[in-house]
Amino acid sequence: MRRWIPPLLACAALALVPWAIWLTTVLPSHEVAEHWDLAWGGLDLMLAAALLATAVAAWRGSTFVEASASCAGTLLVVDAWFDLLTSSGRDLTYAIVLAVVAELPLAAVCLWIVLDSENFARRMASWRSASSSMSRS
């Protein structure tokens, strides 16, 4: 990794703090958005692609599993966050249930894959070999 990358990322992170504070003070609490349907549909398609990439990488024992699981976990948390913050009434109840029952637990599984990728890859390899030996029988 280039030596300039960590300081660049740290500066970007620090710059985002005042930017986020400024946005929360100047942006309206309510906004009508064009392409709302495409935004949510696109997010869910990206999430589906990341979950599929994680599944394929896990089945193949690929080192790509860390990156795809990280992406999938992040998208799951983002999806839960925006579901909760953009919902009200009965939709908010559904968003809370979906976040607690599906999105956040699945994000935790993805995080576990990232943090334990070496052991995860070893377990997947042994599972694949056991599955292939059972199918030959």
Q: What's the whole-number average pLDDT of the chain?
A: 91
Its sign, for the CA torsion 53, 109, 135, 128, is positive
Q: Where along the chain do its domains lie?
A: 35-136
**In angstroms, what CA-CA distances link 40 with 47, 118, 127?**
11, 34, 36
Report angle CA 16, 22, 23 to the nearest 5 degrees: 85
Rounded Cα gap, residues 22 and 12, in angstroms: 15
pLDDT, mean of residues 7-24: 95
Gap between the Cα atoms of 49 and 55, Å rounded: 10
Asked if residues 61 and 125 have their Cβ atoms less than 8 Å apart, the reply is yes
With vertex at residue 80, the alpha carbon angle to CA 77 and CA 81, rounded to the nearest 5 degrees, is 85
Q: In sequence order, what are the residues at sequence separation of 6 or more whose Cβ sits closer than 8 angstroms to the Cβ of residue 128?
A: 59, 61
Tell me the average pLDDT across 42-55.
97
At residue 14, the 3 state secondary structure works out as helix
pTM: 0.81
Average pLDDT on 32-47 reads: 94
pLDDT digits (tens, 9 = 90+) for 60-73: 888 899 999 999 99
